[in-house]
Amino acid sequence: MASYSTLKVGRWNLTDLVKDPSADEFSRFLDSIESQIKEFEANRTRLWQDIPATEFEQMIHALESISEKISIASGYAHLDYYSDTSSNKASALVTKMEKMAADAGNRLLFFDLWFKKGLDDVNADRLIEAMPKVYREYLRHKRLVAKYSLSEPEEKIINTLEVTGTRALVKIYDKMSSGFEFEMKLRKGKKTIVRRFDNREKLVHL
Report whether pLDDT(4) > 50. Answer: no
What CATH number has the domain bearing residue 90? 1.20.140.70
In a domain, 65, yes or no: yes
For 125-144, what is the mean pLDDT? 96
In a domain, 206, yes or no: no
Question: How far is it, in rounded angstroms, from Cα 69 to Cα 34?
Answer: 10
In a domain, 204, yes or no: no
157 HSE (CA, 13 A, CB side): 6
**Furthest CA-CA distance within the chain:** 79
pLDDT in tens, 87-109: 888 888 998 999 999 999 999 99
pLDDT in tens, 156-200: 988 888 776 677 677 777 777 766 788 888 888 888 888 887 766
Contacts of 62 (CB under 8 A, 6+ apart): 36, 39, 40, 43
Report whether pLDDT(48) > 50. Answer: yes
Cβ atoms 191, 170 nearer than 8 A: no
In a domain, 7, yes or no: no
Question: How far is it, in rounded angstroms, from Cα 84 to Cα 194?
Answer: 23
In a domain, 167, yes or no: yes
In a domain, 40, yes or no: yes
Work out the mean pLDDT of the chain and round it to a whole number.
87
Residues spanned by the domain of 160? 12-178
Residue 3 belongs to what H/E stretch? strand 2-6
If one counts the domains in the chain, the total is 1
pLDDT in tens, 31-47: 999 999 999 999 999 99
Percent of the chain with pLDDT over 90: 56
Alpha-carbon torsion angle 89, 91, 96, 97, nearest 10: 110
- SS3 of residue 2 by DSSP: strand
pLDDT for residue 158:
86
In a domain, 126, yes or no: yes
pTM here is 0.75
- Cα dihedral across residues 176, 177, 178, 181: positive or negative: positive
In a domain, 202, yes or no: no
Closest CA to 63 of 131, 117, 159: 131
Question: How far is it, in rounded angstroms, from Cα 164 to Cα 122?
Answer: 40
